[in-house]
Structure 1
Amino acid sequence: MFGLDPQIVILLVAAAFAAGFIDSIAGGGGLVTVPALLLAGIPPVQALATNKVQGAFGAATAAIRYARRGLVDPRKQLGAALIAFVAGLAGALMVSFIPTDALRYILPVLLIATALFFALKPGLDDLDRTERIPPLAFAALIVPAVGFYDGLLGPGAGAFYMIAFVTLAGYGVLKATAHTKLLNFASNLGGLIAFAAVTKPLWLLGFAMAAAQVAGATLGSHLAMKIGARVIKPLLVVTSSALALRLIWQLLAA
C-alpha cells in the first residue's frame, strides 16, 4: 500500500508521533521525521515533500489547540500567515537553485546560540516583556526570512520563529510557542504545494504519519499549556542542540 516494508511504516508513524509532540512544544519535529524518511530509503526531495504533508497537520493541530485556549487570535495573524505561506512556497521552489552549503555551516551556530539563550538567560518565563519591534515590522522582516528557510530546508524553523517572538516581540515563552504554530503551518503548506509541483509526495504515507502527528501535537500542546515554560524551555534546548549536533555530524561525514 505504501511501497515500503510494514515495519518501516510503523517506525515512521512512531517517529511522526514523537515529532508532533516535540514540534507542538518547542519546534524541531523535522529533526525526527526527515532523517527517518531518508533512512527508509526515500529520495531526499520526495522525503522533504512527504515531511511537509504530515508536518502541516501537526502544526495545524497545535495552532487550533492554542487558539481554543485563547493564547493566540488567528485572525490577527492572517496577514503574517499569508507572508509565511508565500515565503515557504518561494523557499521550496528555490531548493534546486540556491546553494545551501553556507546555510549548513551557519545553522549549527544559530541553533547552539538558541539553545544557550534559553538555557542560560535568567528570568525567561511566561510573562510578556518589552516589545522591541512593532508587529508590522516583525511580519515584514522576520516572518518571510524564517518562512523562506522553512520551505528551503525546514528543521528548526519553529525554534527560530519562537526565539524571534521572545526576543523581539517581547512574548512570554508559552505565548511565543502558541504564536509560532499558525506561521509554521502556513510556511509548511506553501512548501508542500511547491514540492508537490516538482515531485510526488508519498501521500498515503504522509497521511498515515499525519494522523500520528496530530496525536503527538495534541498531547504536546496539552502538556505545554499545563506546565508552560518549565517544559518548553528544556525541550527547546534539547531539540536545538540535537539538531545542531546532527548538522555538524553531517558536515564532518561529508
Structure 2
Amino acid sequence: MFDLTLLAIAAFAAGLVDAVVGGGGLIQIPAIFAVYPKEVPATLIGTNKLASVFGTSVAAVKYARRVQVAWSTAAPAAVAAFAFAFLGAWTVTRVPADFVRSLLPVVLVAVAVYTFKKKDLGAIHAPLHSGAKERWLALGFGGAIGFYDGFFGPGTGSFLLFLFVRFFGFDFLSASAAAKVVNVACNISGLILFGASGHLIWQLGLTMAVCQIAGSLIGTRLALKHGSGFVRKLFLVVVSLLIVKTAWDTVRHLGW
C-alpha cells in the first residue's frame, strides 16, 4: 500500500510539472524504478508511457480550450515525432545511447544559460515563420525530438518548449500548448511499441494515469493563470534539475 501511495504522489507531481514545462519524467521514472527494482526496465518505461499519455493528453485539451494552439506548426511536428519515435526506439536496441547520455548535460547547460541571459525570450508571441518554411521546420524539429524521445528521452517536453520559443518565436505559454500536442504523439508512439511487445503493467499504469490527470489539471490551470513568466521560471528550475540528474547519471554510468 505504501508503494502504491508513493507512486500515486509521484504521478500527481509529474503530471503537474509536465503540464507546465515538461520534465515530469524526472519525478515519475525514478519513483517507479525505485519501487520495482527487479522489474524489466522496458516494462517500467512502458508503464510510465501509459500513465503519461493520459496526463499529457488532458493538458493538451485544456490548453487548446484556452490558448490558440499553432496547429500549422504543432500538427506536422506531431506527425514527424510519432514516426521518428518508433525509429528512435528501434535504434536504441542496436546502438548504445552512451554518447547521447554524455552530451546531454552540456546541451542542457547551453539551453539554461541562453534562456537565463535572454530575459525577454518567450515573453511575446511573435511567430517567425509561415507557409512551407514553417511546415518543413516543424517536421524537422518534430522528427528530431521524436527520435530523441524514442532513443533516450529525458527532458523531451522541456526541449520542445525551448525549440518552439527559440526557433518559432512563440511565447512560453503558447509553446507549452504546442509542446503538449507533440508530446502526446511521442507518448502514443512509445505506448504502441511497448504494448505490442507486452512491456506494460496495465493496472499500475492506469492507476498512475488517474493521478497524472489530477496533477495535469492543476498544472495547466497554474500555467494559464500566471502566464508565460511563470512558465519561464519553472522551465529554468526543471532544466537545472535535469542538468544535475543527467550529469550524475553520466558519471555513474561511466564509472568515474
Separation in structure 2 between the aligned mates of residue 230 and residue 139 of structure 1, nearest angstrom: 25
Residue identity in the other structure for 1:21: L
Question: Per-residue CA shift, 1:16-68, capped at 9, x if unaligned?
Answer: 11011111111111111111111112332111111110111111011000001
Q: Report the counterpart of residue 43 of structure 1 in structure 2.
A: 40
Question: Would you say the 8 A contact 1:67–1:74 is kept in 2?
Answer: no
Q: CA deviation at 1:196?
A: 1.8
In the alignment, which residue of structure 2 is the partner of 1:155?
A: 154
1:224 pairs with 2:191: no
In the alignment, does 2:26 pair up with 1:31? yes
* Deviation per residue, 1:177-203 (Å, 9 max, x gap): 111001000011101111222342111
Match of 1:14 among 2, 9, 12: 9
1:98 positional shift: 2.1
Distance in 2 (CA, whole Å) between partners of 1:222 and 1:155 is 24
After superposing the two structures, state which structure 1 stretch, 86-95 or 218-227, moved more. Answer: 86-95
Looking at structure 1, the residues matched to 50 and 252 of structure 2 have their Cα atoms a distance apart, in angstroms, of: 29
Match of 2:63 in 1: 66
TM-score of the two chains, using structure 1 as the length reference? 0.92
Q: What displacement does 1:86 show?
A: 1.2
- Superposed CA RMSD in Å reads 1.8
Q: Work out the CA distance in 1 between the residues paired with 2:123 and 2:48.
A: 31
Deviation string 1:80-111 (CA, Å, 9 cap, x unpaired) is 32221111222223331121000001111112
Percent identity, aligned pairs only, is: 37
Q: Across the two proteins, how many residue pairs are aligned to each other?
A: 249
Q: Is the 8 A contact 2:7 2:208 kept in 1?
A: yes
8 A Cα contact 1:29 1:155, kept in partner: no
Return closer, same or farther for 1:235/1:143 CA change in 2, 3 Å cut-off.
Answer: same
State whether structure 2 residue 55 is matched by structure 1 residue 55.
no
| In the alignment, structure 1 residue 213 sits paired with structure 2 residue 212 | yes
Find the counterpart in structure 1 of residue 247 from structure 2: 248
Instruction: Give the Cα separation in 1 of the matches to 2:15 and 2:154.
Output: 13
- Answer yes or no: is 1:85 the counterpart of 2:82: yes
Measure, in 2, the Cα distance between the counterparts of 1:202 and 1:115.
Answer: 35
From 109, 120, 129, the equivalent of 1:123 is 120
SS in 2 for 1:115: helix
User: For residues 144-186 of structure 1, what are the alpha-carbon distances to aligned partners after superposition, in whole Å with 9 as ceiling and x for unaligned?
Assistant: 0001111222220011111111111111111111110010000
- Name the counterpart of 2:236: 237
2:65 matched to 1:103? no
Contact 1:12 1:36 in 2 (8 A): yes
**Of 68-77 and 88-97, the range deviating more from structure 2:** 68-77
Quote the residue 1:3 is aligned against.
Answer: none
Report the TM-score when normalising by structure 2. 0.91
Q: Which amino acid aligns with 2:183?
A: N
1: CA distance, partners of 2:72 / 2:164: 17
Between 1:10-19 and 1:195-204, the stretch displaced more is 195-204
- 1:35 and 1:112 map into 2 onto residues whose CA distance is 22
Corresponding residue for residue 94 of structure 1: 91
* Structure 1 segments unaligned to the other structure (5+ residues): 1-5
Using a 3 Å threshold, how does the CA distance of structure 1 residues 120 and 35 change in structure 2: closer, same or farther? same
Task: Assess, with a 3 A threshold, how the Cα gap between structure 1 residues 248 and 76 changes in structure 2: closer, same or farther.
Answer: closer
Displaced runs of 4+ in structure 1, greater than 6 A?
none
Aligned letter for 1:129? A
Distance of 1:110 and 1:141 partners within structure 2: 18
